[in-house]
Structure 1
Amino acid sequence: MAPSDEQGTRSATGSIRWRYGTVTGVRGGWRGCTELDVDIEPRHGEPPHRAKALAYDELVGAPREGDRVLLNCNAIAKGLGTGGYALVVAVPDRLPEDVDQAGHIVKARYTPMQVMRLAVDEDDSPSRDVVEGTHTLSGMPVVVADLHSALAPILAGIRATRPDAKVAYVMTDGGSLPAWFSKSLDRLSDRLCGTVTAGQCFGGDWEATNVHNALIAAKAVAGADIAIVAQGPGNLGTGTVWGFSGTAAGEAVNAASVLGGRPIASLRVSEGDKRSRHWGVSHHSMTSYGRVALAPAAIPVPDFDTYPTDPALLEKVRSQLAELPERHTQVPVPTEGLEEALRDLPVRLSTMGRGLDEDHVYFIAEAVAGRLAATMLDG
């Protein structure tokens, strides 16, 4: 049967802004990524322009100056902040060599960029037996956070309290799918015993099919004392009650509990966000922990008797905390020494474009979650 005119029209359009470009310079890179300058060839009467581009080395190879590249320019067209790169889809004239790798778990499934990874829980994995044989986290503290920007301050709180603690990061797939996208993860890697990428995300030291086996891998394969669970960079939010990727934080609380861990629900608190739904305790935390997390969790709260903050903000936070279910236990946590620990981090702290001095309470609230996890190791 011949395609209809409507089908032919649909096949000629697309939801990706495809462009060719030429690499004019290699800006540098970090683990798994090469950052480029590219001259983008115009289409549809647009002017030629130059942009930053990002190539994931394991997917497309490492482009060189002079290479012609195929680009996905959606992020540039939409003006995205976190992911505002042209993404290299292929280097058509210099394709990377085929590499036979173990593993048959497909991530980014049924997209043109689907990748085959070796997961810790599949038959070919050398870790399969230990993962399958681990039935409990044995009380391991599991810190759950809404945003990727919480990773660094939580880690700071742990190290300020128990510098010898082994910490694994479990990255969930609500944001960036490649772990390689995160510069901060690359710079924090020497402070972690490993990263496990769960679900559809990939590129960690270990891969897992879901957050449950990712937590087991953190404990039994990476040897972690504490796990931090958060999505990669670039969370999704629509401003509606349920329409945000951070609902996975509540689901991670449930997963940690059912596996015999001790979930710690870190609060997303802001004094710098101008949006009413995020000023004070974010509606993301209120929804995720108040309605999604059915298992009890410890909720660390900065000790506001000693931590100075705006009286209006404090009143708002206290009224919100009173609305959280009684199944959770709110734990005041001292903040002494956390300021210094945050400023000593090897990464620039930033959440929604705001740094430590612009949204101090956000980073302190995440750091006390790390501190509480560290104190749990003593008993």
Structure 2
Amino acid sequence: MIRWRRGEVREIRREWPGALEIEVAVDDGARCRALAYPPLVGRPEPGDTVLLNTTALAMGLGTGGYAMVVAIPDRLPQDPSGPGHLVKARYTPLQATVLGADEQDSPHHEVLREADSLDGMPVVVADLHSALPAILCGLYLERPAARVAYVMLDGGALPAWFSMACAKLRDIGWLTGVVTVGQSFGGDLEAVTTHTGLLAARHILHADLTIVAQGPGNLGTGTKWGFSGVSSGEAINAAGVLNGRPVAALRVSEGDLRERHIGVSHHSLTAYGRVALTRADVVVPELGGEFGARVERQAEPLGERHNLVKVQVDGLYDALRASPVGLSTMGRKLDQDLAYFLTSAAAGRHAATLLPA
């Protein structure tokens, strides 16, 4: 289940908040790229011996293609101090305690104890993490002063620190904060559930709009129900029951080689067509041509339980090209799967129309 290796840190390649990319020489003489989360294991330095989990690297996973630093055995980090009773990554060797915004020791507990409404806040839900910056590009093209929070689900990467995009988007002010929910952790705020995560975004971060998606990475099996993006349908329900305004961003692709993801992905059709019981605005981009007509036909059945909202994509390409972070989905860049990014940006454009003037 786990491929263990021991190695020596040779150099620090780059770092961003919460994460450190290093080069490690492993026991067999090979070198590999590894990722360490200093809040969990301490800060590795050149010359340190590190224990690695090389499973994702050996499997050739794209998003997770790092060896992961499990421990620096000769120099353990200090014990954590301060409050925090939520345990995440529970009953794994790296379970960690965090301070939940909704727990009793939190300064925000009183705010969240009785909080029960999002007050009509738009909530844009997407399947993949890669949609996050594209949604923001479409939103900020129309409403550059909006305050936006990101609620990160636990279907992909568990540590928010893995996302360089999140770090950059927070740094430039495109995100007012990240809330990690479920088993995910490392956000500006921690919460137990998607529901309290949304309430924290609204009442603690004072977001005008919130985007919900899983962290980097995605688990799929090629079956109707066996994919982590099922949670996007559940997020629509959470937004609706809390008096939010759910907006569903379709997963659309013209560049994916798998037929089940061409046009509107079967992920979106299952999550929004079967799992989401709350009525949402499903954004259908006006892509034009034969492919655009295919997307509209595939989305039509979703109109039985949702509002299909057609959105023009004029001007969105230039907004996407100006994205402050790199755009990539499943290894495909902007021009390699333009339909995917235009669809996500169109969801952001529509959400902007739902904000108060």
Cross-structure match for 1:45: none
Alpha-carbon offset, residue 319 of structure 1: 1.9
Cross-structure match for 1:348: 326
- C-alpha separation in 1, matches of 2:303 and 2:292: 19
Q: Which amino acid is 2:277 matched to?
A: L
Cross-structure match for 1:58: 39
- C-alpha separation in 2, matches of 1:326 and 1:151: 27
- The answer to whether the 8 Å contact 2:168/2:325 transfers is yes
Q: What is the CA deviation profile of residues 239-291 of structure 1, one whole-angstrom value per residue up to 9, with x for unaligned ones?
A: 00000000000000000000000000000000101111000000000000000
2:317 is paired with a residue whose SS is helix
- C-alpha separation in 1, matches of 2:38 and 2:8: 17
Corresponding position: 1:24 with 2:10:
yes
- C-alpha separation in 2, matches of 1:374 and 1:324: 22
Cross-structure match for 2:313: 335
1:250 is paired with a residue whose SS is helix
* TM-score scaled by length of structure 2: 0.98
Cross-structure match for 1:146: 127
* 1:1-379 superposed matches below 5 A: 15-42=1-28, 48-189=29-170, 190-302=173-285, 304=286, 307-309=287-289, 311=290, 313-378=291-356
**Bigger mean CA deviation after superposition, 225-234 or 132-141:** 132-141
Alpha-carbon offset, residue 314 of structure 1: 2.4
Regions of 4+ moved over 3 Å = none
Q: Which amino acid is 1:262 matched to?
A: R
- The answer to whether the 8 Å contact 2:284/2:299 transfers is no
Alpha-carbon offset, residue 308 of structure 1: 4.0
Q: Which amino acid is 2:210 matched to?
A: A
- Identity rate of aligned residues, in percent? 58
The structure whose Rg is larger is 1
- C-alpha separation in 2, matches of 1:54 and 1:34: 6
- C-alpha separation in 1, matches of 2:136 and 2:117: 23
Alpha-carbon offset, residue 332 of structure 1: 1.2
1:71 is paired with a residue whose SS is strand
1:230 is paired with a residue whose SS is strand
2:78 is paired with a residue whose SS is coil
Alpha-carbon offset, residue 325 of structure 1: 4.2
Aligned-pair RMSD on alpha carbons? 1.0
**Number of equivalent positions:** 355
Alignment gaps of 5+ in structure 2: none
